[in-house]
Amino acid sequence: MMKAINKIRSSKALVMIVWVLGILVIWEIFAFVVVATKRTPENVLPHIWQIIGSFFDPKPVANGMSCTQIVLVNAGQTLSRAGQGFLIGTIVGFLLAILMKLSRIVEKIAAPYLMLIQLIPILGMAPIILAMTHDIGSSRIIIAAILTFYPVATNTLAGLNSVEKAKYELLYSYAAKKTTIYFKMLIPSCIPYFFTGLKIAAPMAITASILVDTLQGDGGLGCMLSQSLKHAMSIYVFWDIVVFSAVIGVLSCSLMGWIENLISPLKRVERKAKKKEAS
């Protein structure tokens, strides 16, 4: 009995359920207040069941498509661009981190730009990129790449710099070459940090891509979002996109965690240890 209770208490899933329930309850409390006080409550905060219902409502809301169809069709556009940008940003970020580690000069030059990119608001940068490329698709990719690249580069660099002195001295004593030091020591030890960067970057790339959509009327989740807000189509398209992007954002982050678990022996060991503890 005691064991069962402990198991429940240490269960990650349970914590998650309580946490989600908490959000739902607070949402509903406000939804009821809004229904009682506002003239068009669905524009402010609809009930959760209304949003869920709209996902399953086959009634066309625009261009002969239902809410769900609109979300999915446009999500394809936005997410594929976000994915491409994420991939490019990851590669560039990782390589830059290695270059910064290799050369103090590169680090000195790149560090202020990295800071700068982080400081410029994405909403300010997006129109400039769009004006330069004249293409919403490539703008999405570029913005997603820029946003990805920063957390990946800084986290990877932190990982490269976290290697303790004794490990260097060990390889030094074996007269290891520089390439050996990188491939056998520095790169493997920065992998957990690299994945921390990916976990931060993945939802950001998606958010960025949606934001860039809103700049032009060529489709994409952000575009539908703003049209729905302007009442060009059912407001539930807006709510469905909000819920959908939130779920995709969380999933993108857990996908990175899943990949990390798959490739990292360290994680496998940790998992085994946890399982042992639990049983």
Residue of 166, 262, 277, 279 interacting with other proteins (CB under 8 A): 166
Residue of 62, 87, 106, 185 interacting with other proteins (CB under 8 A): 185
What secondary structure letter does DSSP report for 182? I
Residue of 171, 243, 251, 255 interacting with other proteins (CB under 8 A): 171
Residue of 164, 230, 262, 277 interacting with other proteins (CB under 8 A): 164
Which of 13/169 has CB closer to other proteins?
Answer: 169
Question: Per rule CB under 8 A, is residue 170 in the interface with other proteins?
Answer: yes
Question: Per rule CB under 8 A, is residue 133 in the interface with other proteins?
Answer: no
3-state secondary structure of 65: strand
3-state secondary structure of 164: coil
Taking the complex as a whole, the smallest distance from the CB of residue 169 to other proteins amounts, in Å, to 6
Interface stretch with other proteins, choices 71-79, 123-131, 168-176, 251-259 (CB under 8 A): 168-176
Taking the complex as a whole, the smallest distance from the CB of residue 191 to other proteins amounts, in Å, to 7
Can you tell me the distance from the alpha carbon of 212 to that of 48, in angstroms, rounded to the nearest whole number? Answer: 27
3-state secondary structure of 78: helix
Can you tell me the distance from the alpha carbon of 47 to that of 52, in angstroms, rounded to the nearest whole number? Answer: 9
Residue of 23, 25, 273, 278 interacting with other proteins (CB under 8 A): 273
Question: Per rule CB under 8 A, is residue 188 in the interface with other proteins?
Answer: yes
Can you tell me the distance from the alpha carbon of 84 to that of 141, in angstroms, rounded to the nearest whole number? Answer: 6
Can you tell me the distance from the alpha carbon of 201 to that of 220, in angstroms, rounded to the nearest whole number? Answer: 20
Interface stretch with other proteins, choices 18-26, 37-45, 86-94, 162-170 (CB under 8 A): 162-170
Give me the residues paired with residue 62 across strands: 65
Encode burial over 121-148: b for 16+ CB neighbours within 10 A, e otherwise: ebeebbeebbeeeeebbbbbbbbbbbbb
Which residues bind to other proteins, rule: CB under 8 A?
Answer: 164, 166-167, 169-176, 180, 184-185, 188-189, 191, 264-266, 269, 273
